[in-house]
Chain A
Amino acid sequence: MSKQAQAARLEGSRWTPYLFVAPVAIYLLVFQGYPLLQELILSFTSTSLLSPADHAFVGARNYSDLIGTTDFNQVLLITAIYTIACVVLSIGLGLAAALLLNGPFPGRGVARAMVTIPWAAPPVAVALIFTWMLNAQYGIFNRALRALGFAVGSENWLDNASLALPAILITTIWQIFPFASVVILAALQGVSEELRDAAVIDGADRLSVFRAVVWPTIQPSVMLLALFITIWSLRRFDLIWLMTQGGPIGATNTLVIELYRRAFVYRDLGQAAAVGMVGLSIAILVTLVYFRLTLRAERAKGQR
């Protein structure tokens, strides 16, 4: 019997599903939908944080003031670099970790638990310890580099315009790669042992086995993971804000940081809302592209 038919048979009253969904729908409309609508309206007004009640409609001026300016292009560029680096590096490292932890070895349970520690650490605490580790004189990174004979500057990593973004990335990747490795490790359990053995008997080397047997199995999970890491990286706030506040000279100024600065430092709620809407549009666009790609991939598989 089809799932639909089974579901229909279970149907009590046609109102039951709505009754089940209604509380959450109302809750999310109040705490997410309505604020989102407010932001959308704000983005077309000139509103100050100091007197949020008076706002004058200014049409699309908040948007036209942003789009195409060098400052905002820089924000978009930093956001793109940060997001892409987060996706590529955390999945790369997560995949390597998952492959390492996959087969049997002594102490596997402990190792698998330990590798997820960064994921369980609160971001504020992570910002605190990494800021200390990245200190110019007393931080362990520079101490280690000096011990290895490198000449290191007297500037903190986070105060240096060319080191701040890499430092933020190191911190972020450390925090999120365990999530990627847990998801990929779970996906690896679906890899057919028989196919793998057959490939090995046929004389395939490791890389070919990975490409022919392992990758096709874990690819859907990795794709979904990439989507989620993209979306989460686009909205990550605490780590970056606490470590650099977007500085120095905008080197770590992602869209969300720019949004927060405009709202709470420059007190311009209209501009801040416009930045938020641009960010949201990018996230929706990425999601649509993702679903298009997966749909096409599924169709291609079906035709084979």
Chain B
Amino acid sequence: MTRSGSWSHGLRMLAILALLGVAAFPLYWMFVTSMTPSSELFAPTARLVPKPSEIGVYRDAFHGTSVTTWVRNSAIVAVGTTVVSLALALFPAYALSRFRFRGMGLVGFGLFITQMLPEAMLVVPLYAIFGDLALLNTLSGLILANSAFTVPVITWILKGAIDGVPIDIEEAARVDGCSRLDIVLGVVLPLVAPTLAAAAVIAFFHGWNEYIFAQTLISDQDLRTASVGLAGFVGELSTPVHTVMAIGLMYTLPAVIFYLFVQRYVVAGMTAGSVKG
């Protein structure tokens, strides 16, 4: 390697490190803040590394607040949103990929337009509808409200993946006497599994992160999700900052760790879907 080559290599590695620092710093800072005693948080110079003896803040957060209930509710909503979204999206995705039918353009347009509807706009009429359907204050209602936003995206991604499945495979199954239902579930579904996994992750994160519906459609304390519970602390001053950060991390870290494990599949699945789309 020439001297200028190794120079630019060094610069590139430096730029990559800076990039990773920017990406990771806020969560690191959340951790440091949670592990810093109040006296040092408000000192003239900042503490840059966590203080191990402060680990008790996590025990206090566990016992002193409802964070375990919140995180459990968020998990239920996230898993529910994933299941409902995938179950609903598979068949229309197949239909959009494999059939040509009247009204197809309308279906595609309808799916796309949902991307433009702000949750903040729909929350008022949804509140009334939820009242009529006895869905207010239920986690299943929240799951249904969230899935309405994920189903269109997932239908689209799955359609892209099904487009890539050779039709001959389906025909062979058909000759063997399989019904259309058997084909979708037995032949197509396993072949689009990577994209399905990516779609599942997208739905899971939507349910885990969602705030405005959970804030408006749920009033029962025991059914609060972590996003709403944590939002109550933003800008609030009576709870110690390090406790709030500990709660924030207990909500954030499971999601980030889960994501780091599955991100490879998400990226691969999304690419498989979009390259052909």
Task: Given A23-B91, A31-B144, A105-B16, check contact A276 B27 (CB 8 Å).
Answer: no
> Could you say which residues of chain A place their CB within 8 Å of the CB of B212?
237-238
Report the bound CA distance from A143 to B33 in whole Å: 14
Residues of A within 8 A of B209 (CB): 122-124
Closest to B74 in A: A122
Instruction: Evaluate contact between A122 and B255: CB separation under 8 angstroms.
Output: yes
Is B24's CB under 8 angstroms from A124's CB?
A: no
Count residues on chain A whose CB falls below 8 Å from chain B CBs. Answer: 91
Are B100 and A8 in contact (CB-based, < 8 A)? yes
Q: Report Cα–Cα, A17/B96, bound state, in Å.
A: 8
CB-based A-B contact count at 8 angstroms? 262
Q: Are A186 and B270 in contact (CB under 8 A)?
A: yes
- Interface locus among B54-62, B120-128, B189-197: B120-128
The interface residues of chain A lying within 8 Å CB-to-CB of B63 are none
Q: Which of A23, A30, A114, A284 contacts B23 (CB 8 A)?
A: A114
B223 CB contacts on chain A under 8 angstroms:
none
Query: What CA separation (Å) do A279 and B152 show in the bound complex?
Result: 20
Segment 113-130 of A: residues with Cβ below 8 Å from B: 113-130
Closest to B212 in A: A237
Known contacts A16-B99, A20-B92, A143-B46, A52 near B128 by CB under 8 Å: yes
Question: Does A136 sit at the interface, judged by CB under 8 A?
Answer: no
Are B126's CB and A31's CB within 8 A? Answer: yes
Give the docked Cα–Cα distance between A195 and B244 (Å): 53
Contact surface of B with A, Cβ cutoff 8 Å: 12-13, 15-16, 19-20, 22-24, 26-27, 29-30, 33, 41-42, 45-46, 88-89, 91-92, 94-96, 98-101, 103-104, 107, 110-122, 124-126, 128-129, 144-145, 147-148, 151-152, 155, 167, 170-171, 174, 180, 205, 208-209, 211-212, 226-227, 230-231, 233-235, 241, 244-245, 248-249, 251-252, 255-256, 258-260, 263-264, 267, 270-271, 274-275
13 extra A-B contacts, CB within 8 A, seeds A122-B255, A186-B274, A238-B211: A7-B99, A12-B180, A14-B101, A21-B107, A27-B88, A32-B117, A34-B125, A120-B259, A129-B33, A137-B42, A221-B274, A228-B115, A234-B116
